[in-house]
Amino acid sequence: MSKTLQLSDKVNLTIADVIDIAEGKATLVLSDNTAWSALIDKTSDVVSQLHKNHRKIYGITTGFGDSVDVEVPSEKMVELQYNLARFHGCGLGKFFDQLTARAIMVCRLASLKSGYSGIRLSILQRIKDLIDKDIIPVIPEEGSVGASGDLTPLSYIAAVLYGERNVFYKGEIRSAESVYKELGIDPVIPGPKETLCIMNGTSVMTAIACFAFKRAHYLCSLASRITALASLALKADSGHFDDRIFAAKPFAGQRKAAQIIREDYGDVNHSYRIQAPYSIRCAPHAIGVLADSLPWIKEFIETELNSTNDNPLIDPETGDFLHSGNFYGGHIAFAMDSLKTAVANIADLLDRQFALLANYKTNNNLPKNLTGADDKSINHGFKAVQIAVSAWTAEALQKTMPLTSFSRSTECHNQDKVSMGTIAARDCIRVIELVEQVCAASLFAFAQGVELRVKLNEIDEQSLPAQTRRLKEQILETAGFLSQDRPVDRSLKNIIQEIAFQKYEVKPFV
């Protein structure tokens, strides 16, 4: 049975809540608190009364962006809202998958719940109903500069509410119009500010950031466990992970990484140089950069998630219109640029560990390229995989160029400083995908390295900690011990799939 989460101005959603709702593990309900519904109605009523006093309010009685000086008569306010969604229908590229699109809808609801936007409660209910019925807008990934929010991708949600564009429904892409007719759903007629409420915000980049955080958090712990396998395969000095070292440099995440490695390493005797290369000895320090960044990145994402980030805002007490820039996605942009750099650094660390263990000159007398073959003259083990790991790492590192450095002046120099947060978030996901591939290859190779030590009677399998034996056995059962040269792409994909579903046990950092 799924849990129930409530939407109201008094309840903040978390990253985990967004993902749970998107995955169907939780149900979102609108609060039945009368004070909350009264708050939503109050600011919505303020907007609906504008035509009576002819006030000049951006995006309601004026054009959009640089067209702020163009006055719009009251009888055209609704048509203006339709047009806002329509002319932003220029997104290109791949479509966001349904999971991400659902999360985007949840993030938009979280932003609109505080009562500062002037949107009707019935619109929030309709967005929730679409999530419940699994009628999900088809949203192109490309076209947002991250301020004035995610205008182009969010226009696809607004348009679907109005019965336009396409949706995912029952495994097909269909027109929203045809699905509405089939189900007897009437399209929404937008109020004077409601398209602006839906489109003018950071919900796309925030939704992507939620998934990026969850996957990066997992990889942080997984990288610690992978390092333990690498250290065991190398028979490196377990003293590198002594807690006294990390008490002397007390970054909490760094210390936790060392603890995980130490516990997975156990009491195996070592027979290697007194100091292992940095990729082993300094692994907790490298992983610690990511681990110790997770708390503030989480705070940035969840603050943005629950913020009111459209424009203008409406003071529910006074009815004042506050012309602002809360749609600016700078915090998410910086968090995603930082996260992708820290995660790519994990790939670089594991790539160096892989090179260390594949090279017979540095792997402490393991077979060349970690081959498990008896005839080593014609078998090359993980030679090509090591090259592939290097390629994936290089691509991940290349994408660490910060998108926040590429602000563009757009829209007649009205949007003359933009965040680029959505592209930063998309790049972060790509970096994470590449690092997951590096992790998969490293798990395979390092589990084989430990198994080779066991077969050579250099490690007593029973001396390994139980959780380390389970991990090694799980990997080799999934991928198969590499005894003879064979294609391993399917083995790698199977491990990547297990990483995607987070099937390998880890200890959380946050």
User: What does the pLDDT look like over 54-90, one tens digit per residue?
Assistant: 678 888 888 787 788 888 888 888 999 999 999 999 9
Q: Active-site residue 58, yes or no?
A: yes
User: What average pLDDT does range 111-118 have in this prediction?
Assistant: 96
Average pLDDT, the chain: 94
Backbone φ and ψ of 489, nearest 5°: -60, -40
* pLDDT tens-digit readout, 138-195: 999 999 999 888 999 999 999 999 999 999 999 999 999 999 999 999 999 999 999 9
Residues 60 and 117: beta-carbon distance below 8 Å: no
Token couple for 334: 């910086």
Backbone φ and ψ of 355, nearest 5°: -60, -35
For tokens 């995980």, name the residue.
Answer: 260
* pLDDT tens-digit readout, 402-441: 989 888 878 777 777 788 899 999 999 999 999 999 999 9
Beta-strand pair 166-169/172-175? antiparallel
| Separation of alpha carbons 18 and 2, rounded Å | 13
Give the dihedral sign, CA 268/291/16/493: negative
Q: Which residues pair with 321 in a beta bridge?
A: 314
| Separation of alpha carbons 290 and 509, rounded Å | 10
Residues 385 and 495: beta-carbon distance below 8 Å: no
Domain boundaries, the chain: 3-201, 207-500
Residues 449 and 370: beta-carbon distance below 8 Å: yes
Cis check: omega of the bond before 312, within 30 degrees of 0: yes
Q: For the purposes of burial, counting CB atoms within 10 Å of the CB of 67, is it exposed (0-12), middle (13-18) or buried (19 or more)?
A: middle
Nearest CA to 509 out of 220, 157, 173, 185 is that of 220
Question: Which positions ≥6 away from 322 have C-beta within 8 Å?
Answer: 312, 313, 314, 315
User: What average pLDDT does range 4-23 have in this prediction?
Assistant: 97
Residue 418: strand, helix, or coil = coil
Strand stretches in 302-458, DSSP E: 313-314, 321-322
Say what the pLDDT of residue 425 is.
98
Token couple for 222: 């997984």
User: What average pLDDT does range 285-298 have in this prediction?
Assistant: 98
Helices 466-479 and 203-234: angle between axes, nearest 10 degrees:
100
| Separation of alpha carbons 225 and 283, rounded Å | 11
Q: Sorting pLDDT into bands at 50, 70 and 90, what band is 445?
A: very high
Question: Which positions ≥6 away from 373 have C-beta within 8 Å?
Answer: 379, 381, 483, 484, 485
CATH fold, domain 207-500, is Fumarase C; Chain A, domain 2 (1.20.200)
* pLDDT tens-digit readout, 211-269: 999 999 999 999 999 999 999 999 999 999 999 999 999 999 999 999 999 999 998 77
Q: Sorting pLDDT into bands at 50, 70 and 90, what band is 49?
A: confident
Q: What is the CATH number of domain 3-201?
A: 1.10.275.10
Tell me how far CA of residue 421 lies from CA of 204, 279, 418, in angstroms. 9, 32, 8
pLDDT, greater one: 66 or 362 = 362
Nearest CA to 503 out of 440, 428, 446 is that of 440
| Separation of alpha carbons 277 and 192, rounded Å | 64
Say what the pLDDT of residue 409 is.
79
| Separation of alpha carbons 507 and 2, rounded Å | 24
Residues 314 and 322: beta-carbon distance below 8 Å: yes
Say what the pLDDT of residue 73 is.
86
Say what the pLDDT of residue 54 is.
64
Alpha helices (H) along 184-242: 194-199, 203-234
Q: Look up residue 62 and give its DSSP letter.
A: B
End-to-end CA distance of the chain: 26
> Does residue 6 surpass a pLDDT of 70?
yes
Question: Which positions ≥6 away from 270 have C-beta within 8 Å?
Answer: 235, 236, 237, 238
Say what the pLDDT of residue 52 is.
64
